[in-house]
Amino acid sequence: MVKAKKINNKKIDMLSIKGTSVGELELSGNIFGIEPNIHVMHLALKRQLNNARQGSANAKTRAEVSGGGRKPWKQKGTGRARAGSLRSPLFAGGGVIFGPKPRSYETSIPKKARQLALRSALSARFENLIVVDDFSALKEAKTKEMVKILSDIKAQGKILIIADFKSDKNVNLELSARNLPNVKLLLPTNLSVKDLIEADCVVIEQDAIKVITERLS
């Protein structure tokens, strides 16, 4: 039996929302330090995009288009090609051949593959990772306060904040960040490969790391 290769844990500085270091945090190497599996990440991303599609496009066939009940001209003697209905796909206003019909684009991949994709995405973004202790010091729901926090922790570009913004201690987090076009809030239980890939900077709350580690271990 081949033993699994041991991956060393990763260490990262933990910041307060004022940008000062409050200690060092050890992250699981099996979640934040693996070699990213690009193929599995691609499958997970394709699954997420496919499952977001509505699949509601609909074109009518010649059987569904209204009208066309009368034969447009007699069968013989006109010199024209024979026709039985003006709603044939050959005529303007007729039905559509092989047009789209409502369908489901839903796809699935195994649970272990989804977990591997998330671990790969987290490991790939480790260099762009910022860990904060919590957002409880955010006392007012003001956008300018959130802008200052992001500036103090040096978060730039398209920012993904992973935190439990529905908890009592983070009551002002969502209200402060929702008007910022370059910031997206995400619950740790809703972590997705697409959001991790698209973000330039990933800000994770300490408690969120615990939830993610338990989920992906």
Give domain limits for the chain: 10-39+109-216, 54-104
Vertex 204: Cα angle to 198 and 205 (nearest 5): 155
- Does the pLDDT value for residue 52 go beyond 60? yes
Q: What is the pLDDT of residues 98-139, one digit of tens each?
A: 999 999 999 999 999 999 999 999 999 999 899 998 888 888
What distance in Å separates the CA atoms of residue 10 and residue 173, rounded to the nearest whole number? 28
Fold of the 10-39+109-216 domain: Ribosomal Protein L4; Chain: A; (3.40.1370)
Flag whether pLDDT at 1 surpasses 70: no
Indicate the pLDDT class of residue 2, thresholds 50, 70 and 90.
Answer: very low
pLDDT in tens, 80-102: 999 999 999 999 989 999 999 99
Per residue in 162-177, pLDDT (tens digit) is 998 888 888 888 889 8
Per the confidence metrics, is the pTM higher than 0.75? Answer: yes
Amino acid 166: pLDDT: 84
- Which pLDDT does position 5 carry in this prediction? 62
- Residue spans of beta strands (DSSP E) within the chain: 10-15, 21-27, 129-132, 159-162, 183-186, 201-205
Report pLDDT for 141.
86
Strands 183-186 and 10-15, by their bridges, are unpaired
pLDDT at 6: 65
Report how far residue 71's alpha carbon sits from residue 50's, in angstroms, rounded to the nearest whole number.
44
Calculate mean pLDDT across residues 149-167. Answer: 90
The mean predicted confidence, pLDDT, of the chain is: 90
The one-character DSSP state at 89 is T
CB count, 10 Å around CB of 55?
Answer: 13
